[in-house]
Structure 1
Amino acid sequence: MNIIQVYAPTSTSSKEEIETFYEELEKAISECTSQDPLIIMGDFNAKVGQHGNEKAVAKHGLGIRNERGEQVVIWCDEHDLIIGNTIMFRTTSQEEMDMETTRG
């Protein structure tokens, strides 16, 4: 199994920083074993919103897609990846939990 952990630049980052992030991610993917499953997890600092015609977003996407979300969706479609947190339904309380810290 191939697992890549990411933290994408924030929306205040320059286009160059975002391009560098995707270039480094492409390099990491190219080093993975192709016959093993690939999981990319982390924070893409994007809102992918609701399901459209793309393959990457399942029916439980949340919010309104932003520019960074559009970029992530297109990139995932190009790589035949599915955005995992759009697969299962989450209630409002679960959405709020996603935003809370686990530090006591």
Structure 2
Amino acid sequence: MALSIRQKRVRRISGDPVHGVVVQGPVDGLATGTPLYSVAVQGTIDGRTTCRPRGWRFGTWNVGTLTGRSLEVVEELQRRMVDVAALQEIRWKGEGTRFVGAKGGRYKLWWKGDDGMGGVGVMVREELVEKVLEVRRRSNGVIVVVMVFGKVIVRVISGYAPQQSRKEEEKDRFYDVSDEIGQAGLNEFVVLLGDLNGHVGADADGYEGVHGGWGYGIRNEEGRRVLELADAHSMVVGNTWFTREPARLITY
């Protein structure tokens, strides 16, 4: 299977079939320049299913808060023609669903937050809402939206991992997301979008086929966990498969 992320310079991913992509976003994307990615997947999964969710744009960023900013978020999504966006640190309590924006350009938002400090959400363009099969609010840091694009089921996960200073038990609970990914069938493609609070490093260094070699800095323990998660499920870390300016890479 070949996977490409539409940027100026992209490396072709070859070898074993790719069943998903992990994309990390810088903190407070609205302030630093929202990083949005267009993911194209083509090929077959074990010879069974043609997988081509072409033209659908998936984005992610840590917004800092959605309070007083939800319309700003929608305007940014419209401007960048994003179809599905994963949001982190929305800082809303409870869980719910609502449409945001003016009629004709709205997005549907599903969210979950426990303490008003973290929280995650997913926004889907109104025209694509009918493609949503299921929503699972797993925790304060993980929400899953299952969609169908033609014959392909796409499992969109918005994740907000605990910071490096948090307890190991809390980090372990977040990485139970591996169970969610493991449930994906042969005709499914997993898109894990979020603020995973890990540095995967500049080079592949043992994770060839997962890390594309265009990263930044020194790998830390949290970054290693991201790579191991991707490796365990035949996924790639999308940000590392194309070149970007160092200023746009330093949070990965």
Task: State TM-score, norm by structure 1.
Answer: 0.80
1:84 corresponds to 2:238: yes
Q: What is the aligned partner in structure 2 of residue 70 from structure 1? A: 224
How many residues end up aligned between the 2 structures?
97
1:12 corresponds to 2:165: yes
Conservation of the 8 A alpha-carbon contact between 2:204 and 2:212: yes
Return the match for 1:52 from 199, 205, 223: 205
Return the match for 1:28 from 180, 184, 187: 180
CA–CA distance in 2 between the matches of 1:5 and 1:34? 21
Conservation of the 8 A alpha-carbon contact between 2:178 and 2:229: no
CA–CA distance in 1 between the matches of 2:183 and 2:245? 37
> Any idea what SS the aligned residue of 1:72 has?
helix
Shift of 1:43: 1.0
Larger radius of gyration: 2
Q: What is the aligned partner in structure 2 of residue 102 from structure 1? A: none
Q: 1:16 to 1:93 in 2, by over 3 A?
A: closer
Which deviates the most, 49-58 or 79-88? 49-58
Any gaps of 5 or more consecutive residues in structure 2? Answer: 1-153
CA–CA distance in 2 between the matches of 1:53 and 1:6? 25
CA–CA distance in 1 between the matches of 2:230 and 2:215? 14
Question: One-letter code of the match for 2:164?
Answer: S
Conservation of the 8 A alpha-carbon contact between 2:182 and 2:233: no
Conservation of the 8 A alpha-carbon contact between 1:47 and 1:63: yes
Quote the RMSD (CA, aligned, Å).
Answer: 2.0
Shift of 1:3: 0.7
Any gaps of 5 or more consecutive residues in structure 1? Answer: 100-104
Percent identity, please. 29
> Any idea what SS the aligned residue of 1:82 has?
strand
Higher strand fraction (1 or 2): 2
**Does 1 or 2 have the higher relative contact order (CA < 8 Å, sep 6+)?**
1
Conservation of the 8 A alpha-carbon contact between 1:11 and 1:45: yes
CA–CA distance in 1 between the matches of 2:225 and 2:247? 28
